[in-house]
Amino acid sequence: MEYFVVAGGSPLAGEVHIAGAKNVALKAFVASLLTDEEITLHNVPLITDVFFMLDVLKSLGVSVRIEGNSVRIRNGHMKKSTVPLEVGARLRTSSLVLGPMLARIGKARIPNPGGCRIGARPIDRHIEGLMKMGASIAYHSEDGYFYASAKRLHGTVFTFPKNTHTGTETLMLAAVLAEGETVLKNAAEEVEIDDLIGLLRAMGADIRRRAPREIVIRGVGALHGATYTIMPDRNEEVTFAIAAAVTGGNITVRQSVRGHLGAFLSAFQKAGGRAEIIDETSTRYSQPGPIRPTDIVTRIHPGFMTDWQGPWALYMTQANGISTVHETVFESRFSYVSELRKMGSSIDFFDPPVDDPESFYNFNWGDRIEGYHQAIRISGPTQFHNAVLVMEDLRAGATLLLAALTAHGESYIHGIEQIDRGYERIEERLCALGAKIIRKREEKL
């Protein structure tokens, strides 16, 4: 296994190009199953989740060619209908293939994507919608697979009981070839979905957002090949912005997507951060003055994105005073807290009073496990000392890497395969900004 050795304490300065959005690329690959013609995707981030998803496609008999940050996919008459457990279980998004497989071959057998380190993450909302479109889906606990079949998916009017980003995408991917019209109500508004809509329309799908939280899809007979460029990754941009702020440097982000970062930019400004517009697609991030304690509550789009809350909490450990982070999308997304405490930060858990938790929180309230908390109170500033840290999940990984860059002295970070899932060549790009990070391989004893 590999680990990072990080010598923290130096300000980061320079330019960085934001990579393509992981949470678009993964779904774009799935969309390619909807046609036998070639799909070419540009600006694909070369991260392990991308390679995992390409393995899922290859397990279905799809041919894949990677050329730099472009991927050519030709789904020559998808033959297989099973995603093997060892392939599908690595990636929650593998369940997205359900829709296209039902649409194309009428059956699918996929492993339960189930929980991961940030919560139970069931797909009940996906299943409910697909069943309304005529699929029959059963979960067999004896082998951990979902068995699905459908003679012909048909259009329906489906109202999501609660927001679901990939649930909305699952039903879009199923509806574009279904018979008749599908109307998705209470559909998610995350910007990655709009990029997927852009690709589907380039493939000939009849799909559009008709009103807030409402998507209309009219099924067509077939989709054709397309070439599409994935939008930049807003989670990357937030990570580099906070890296500039906590190290006292300044980072110019190229391929900046300010339009996707509204809630972050207003919180960042409240905290004394500066986001200087350089040009249409470039933003320079810095922290000209002291970091002001600023409370945030994560929300579905267009609110403060849950993927940003770990790096934000790290930012607030450097603020002068008390800040709170209230996580409302996932039920267990504070795995980084124990690690930040190792570096000296003072963070307490608490649960803000909420009248009706089932409707207030985006997760299913019944999925919580005893001992979970939904909020943390951070008192800063903390001069981090170095430590040995372990990354538990992708965004917690980014949080710990930022913490090590903030600390004085040399820190060791294990579990770095987590950050490799979502950030391309992260240490190379940070070192180009002045960071001192070395990737090492643990010696076999």
Question: What type of residue sits at position 69?
Answer: N
From the CB of 233, what's the least distance to ligand EPZ, in Å?
9
C-alpha 80/C-alpha 82 separation (Å) is: 6
Instruction: Report 170-209 residues binding ligand EPZ (CB under 6 A).
Output: 190
C-alpha 116/C-alpha 238 separation (Å) is: 23
C-alpha 285/C-alpha 269 separation (Å) is: 10
Please pick, from the candidates 196, 343, 394, 419, the single residue that binds ligand EPZ as defined by CB under 6 A.
394
Q: Check residue 364 for interaction with ligand EPZ (CB under 6 A).
A: yes
Short-list 234, 248, 250, CA closest to 285: 250
Q: Check residue 166 for interaction with ligand EPZ (CB under 6 A).
A: yes
Per DSSP bridges, beta strands 181-185 and 157-159 are parallel
Q: Check residue 48 for interaction with ligand EPZ (CB under 6 A).
A: no
For the residues of 143-160, what is the DSSP string, one character each?
Answer: TTEEEEE-SS-B--EEE-
Rg, C-alpha atoms of the chain: 22
From the CB of 303, what's the least distance to ligand EPZ, in Å?
10
Q: Check residue 109 for interaction with ligand EPZ (CB under 6 A).
A: no
Q: Check residue 298 for interaction with ligand EPZ (CB under 6 A).
A: no
From the CB of 332, what's the least distance to ligand EPZ, in Å?
9
Please pick, from the candidates 90, 121, 342, 429, the single residue that binds ligand EPZ as defined by CB under 6 A.
121
Short-list 275, 227, 219, 235, CA closest to 251: 275
Structure tokens, 335:
């795995």
Q: For residues 52 and 412, which CB has a smaller minimum distance to ligand EPZ in the complex?
A: 52
Please pick, from the candidates 90, 104, 342, 395, the single residue that binds ligand EPZ as defined by CB under 6 A.
395
Q: Which residues pair with 218 in a beta bridge?
A: 181, 206
C-alpha 184/C-alpha 216 separation (Å) is: 6
From the CB of 311, what's the least distance to ligand EPZ, in Å?
11
Short-list 201, 248, 278, CA closest to 402: 248
Q: Check residue 411 for interaction with ligand EPZ (CB under 6 A).
A: no
Q: Binding residues for ligand EPZ, how many (CB under 6 A)? A: 28
From the CB of 358, what's the least distance to ligand EPZ, in Å?
11
Question: What type of residue sits at position 420?
Answer: D
Instruction: Report 299-358 residues binding ligand EPZ (CB under 6 A).
Output: 306-307, 329-330
Q: Check residue 123 for interaction with ligand EPZ (CB under 6 A).
A: yes
- Check 116, 131, 220, 322 and give the catalytic one: 116
Q: Check residue 165 for interaction with ligand EPZ (CB under 6 A).
A: yes
Q: Residue 365 half-sphere exposure, CB side, CA atoms within 13 Å?
A: 9
State yes or no: is 116 an active-site residue. yes
Q: Which residues pair with 179 in a beta bridge?
A: 154
Please pick, from the candidates 43, 95, 294, 362, the single residue that binds ligand EPZ as defined by CB under 6 A.
362
From the CB of 336, what's the least distance to ligand EPZ, in Å?
13
Q: Check residue 423 for interaction with ligand EPZ (CB under 6 A).
A: no
Q: For residues 166 and 247, which CB has a smaller minimum distance to ligand EPZ in the complex?
A: 166
Q: For residues 361 and 384, which CB has a smaller minimum distance to ligand EPZ in the complex?
A: 361
Structure tokens, 61:
């008999």
Q: For residues 112 and 166, which CB has a smaller minimum distance to ligand EPZ in the complex?
A: 166
- Strand 157-159: give its sheet, edge to edge: 157-159, 181-185, 214-218, 206-211
C-alpha 169/C-alpha 320 separation (Å) is: 41
76: three-class secondary structure by DSSP: coil
From the CB of 278, what's the least distance to ligand EPZ, in Å?
27
- The site for ligand EPZ (CB under 6 A) is made up of 22-23, 26, 93, 119-126, 163-167, 190, 306-307, 329-330, 362-364, 394-395, 422
Catalytic residues: 116
